[in-house]
Amino acid sequence: MLNPLVFVGLIISITIHEFAHAFVADRLGDPTPRANGRLSLNPLRHLDPLGTLILLVANFGWGKPVVIDPYNFSHPRRDEVLVSLAGPLSNIILAIIFMQLYKIIPIPTEFIIINLYLAVFNLLPIPPLDGSKILINLLPEKSAISWSEAFDRYGFIILFLLVVTGLIGSILTPIVQFLIDTLNF
């Protein structure tokens, strides 16, 4: 069972992560997140019921993805990259804020670690993670189509296998440790 403090930290982090996607999409001209009520810091707007339940039981879960329509953007490919980067960047900013707070008041170090793991995890180029949307929009269009056709349907399976086998930790932990060292925590 998940530690209640860690659960609270995850709820805050997931909420801000999803809000960041919605905020950037809205600022770049896509009204879809606003129309769906996602321009909110209310956690209930951003939590996926199944993802939250699994989070409580298995220490792994997810938030409700923010739906966007890239055709509302002036520069669809560039703007989708910016929207995709917004979530992980918000987690890095939260981690830095929590690091600074940690120097002043005793907050759980898990708040820092959670945000770094969320940022790095979401930057993996595996569908449906943010990193896959970033990669697809940075690739030439023909390569992006090929990549999507090859990996979109298998992304969940790949993620599931990485989590179940524990390989995800082998991928994420060295990167998170590098960030901790770099940010002088």
Is there a contact between 11 and 46 (Cβ–Cβ < 8 Å)?
no
Instruction: Specify whether 18 is catalytic.
Output: yes
Angle of helix 4-27 relative to helix 110-122, nearest 10 degrees, comes to: 40
Residue type, 99: M
C-alpha separations of 22 from 33, 64, 73, 89, 185 in Å = 5, 11, 13, 13, 30
Nearest to 13 by CA among 110, 128, 85, 104: 110
For residue 46, CA distances in Å to 11, 29, 126 come to 9, 20, 21
Residue 47 pairs in a beta bridge with: 63
Catalytic member of 18, 80, 110, 141: 18
Identity of the amino acid at 18: E
Show which residues are catalytic: 18
